[in-house]
Amino acid sequence: MGNPWGRVVGVLLSMCTVAGASAQTLTLQRLDAEATTAEVVAGTRPLPWQDNRNGDVIFEGSHHPRWWKLTATRSFPASQQPRLLLESPYLTRVQAWVPGSTSPSRHALYGADADDRYSTRALVIDLPSGLEAGDSVLLRVEAPAAIPMRASLVPLAQVHRGDLLFVGWRSFILGSLSVLPLLALTLWLRLRDPQYLYFAASVLLVTLYLLALGGEMRAIPWLAGIAGSGVGFARVTAGLATVCMILFQRRYLQLPQFMPRVSRWLAGCVAAILAISVFNVFSEASLGSLAGNVCLLISGMLLVGSGVVMAWRGQRQAWALLFSWLPFLLLAMLRTAELAGWLLGPPWLGHGITISVALSALLLSIGMADTMLQLRRDRDHASRRANVDSLTGMSTRLAVDEYLAKAIQDAAANATPLSIAFIDVDHFKAVNDRHGHAIGDECLRILAARVRRQLRASDMLGRYGGDEMLAVMPGMDLEQARVRAEAMRNTVDVRPIDINHLSLDVSLSIGVAQWQPGELLEQLLQRADMALYAGKAAGRNRTCLAAASQTFSPCETMQ
């Protein structure tokens, strides 16, 4: 059958190849020499046009206006309503001279030259007379940021289809990102852990960066001017987002505690990125972008390396970091190499980075949720250890005291009866002395199970110390509690306890008391305890009832 993943990759590569081949509708040339508009448009003198080495991609890295000539390789009649697309322009501004027009059209994502008829995925240049094979469109390109723009000729219907697809997936990604800071802030308000603030700030800043880079920020009037005025806003936003993400992941992985040296190196990266961000506020030199990308790559490799080490050591949250950072880091390395002029990345690189950022934030959110669940499980386990006796499964003394206090409050508020029963195992020390503590412990477990089966779901049975138990029975008066206590005593008395071929005859002594209005918890416990010891003094294996005063009544039920 072969490798199915190999077949999938082959299909994707073939699709990319076909798409790339079909997109070659233009040949591009660049004019590096200075020339006037009249010389270029009117062709008054021969000009040294140079073939573009990047195929159909305009990659203007000079930061000065330059001329480009785009020549059609086949005819596009006017009936097809052809458009020239310049994809992912960011801050690039273009003047276009098309055949049949004597004046240029102006195009940009921001400012007065923005065209709201189309999405922000591309600058769209109308070709009202169509374009014959061999005809050229002249562009005057001003690119403050070295962002590759892919040029293509497509019919208007295809432009609209592409816009719908672009708006759909951008809305999904940006909408998903906008929810995550709210989730992180909610966690911070609940837990007061600063790592959630770092995460919320990083995702919010990344969202702003993507909005600025993609052009959607032009729809926000009070931000459009800032984002469209220069590359400083996007660079500073990206730098601060990186700082917040580093701070979050240092704390998320507990690096200061487990890997202090790496933590210090990351702190150095944070300081460097902050300094570069200050530089980017005052300068749009490409050095700021390159230095920021290098710091991003260094910090990313440190975090991924730390994640590998921590995952190897068994830290669960490290896996979330690895899966979230690796795709982004690889794509960021490609983008950095592209911006440095070392290579030209694939056409989907810009979109891939956007998707990887959203995926990274989503996976880290899942990792945080897993951490929250682990903390909750640890808390529940600790609470269970505090509230449940590990030997018998009964409630602990602390838990049963809290339950009794609450039951007294409810009985006082609702004028309902409340009774308790102190239970003691007769001659239990002799069982331990004769057969050992292992047999004694198993005996207690069996006794607790038998007694618990005689109680209601609303009652509570707790281990009060050693072989003493306390049963709290809300809503029962003294007579009802006596009947219940006798049921507990009889379930133990009627048959011996069999453990490892041993048959143990065990009995219970029980003291029962009903809460009296105005009585304190300690007084109620004291009366039940006095009734219990009265039963022991009378010969054990019996239930005694406590009187309403500090005295006690004769034992009501015996063998």
Instruction: For the chain, give every domain's residue range.
Output: 22-156, 161-378, 397-557
What gap in Å lies between CA 280 and CA 287, rounded to an integer?
9
pLDDT of residue 156: 95
3-class secondary structure, 540: coil
Spans in the chain with pLDDT lower than 50 = 1-23, 551-552, 554, 556-559
pLDDT in tens, 408-454: 999 999 999 999 999 999 999 888 889 998 999 999 999 999 999 99
Whole-prediction pTM value?
Answer: 0.66
- Tell me whether strands 543-546 and 508-514 are parallel, antiparallel or unpaired: parallel
What gap in Å lies between CA 471 and CA 417, rounded to an integer?
15
Q: Do domains 161-378 and 397-557 have the same CATH topology?
A: no
The first and second tokens of residue 447, run together, are 């006794």
What gap in Å lies between CA 352 and CA 182, rounded to an integer?
25
Let me know: does 391 contact 247? Beta carbons within 8 Å.
no
Report which of 551, 515, 558, 521 is spatially closest to residue 536, judged by C-alpha positions: 558
pLDDT of residue 341: 61
What gap in Å lies between CA 449 and CA 512, rounded to an integer?
20
pLDDT of residue 19: 40
Instruction: Give the C-alpha distances (Å, rounded to integers) separating 337 from 30, 159, 330, 332, 341.
Output: 22, 30, 11, 9, 6
pLDDT of residue 8: 37
The first and second tokens of residue 431, run together, are 């069982």
The first and second tokens of residue 200, run together, are 């919320």
Fold classified for 22-156 = Immunoglobulin-like (2.60.40)
Domain 397-557 class, CATH top level: alpha beta
The dotted CATH code for 161-378 is: 1.20.1070
Give the distance, in angstroms, between the CA of residue 5 and the centroid of all CA atoms in the same chain. Answer: 29
For residue 552, the tally of other CB atoms under 10 A from its CB is 21
Q: What is the DSSP letter of 123?
A: E
Let me know: does 307 contact 253? Beta carbons within 8 Å.
yes
pLDDT of residue 12: 37
State the Rg of the chain over Cα: 39
pLDDT of residue 487: 94
Report which of 367, 354, 351 is spatially closest to residue 175, judged by C-alpha positions: 354
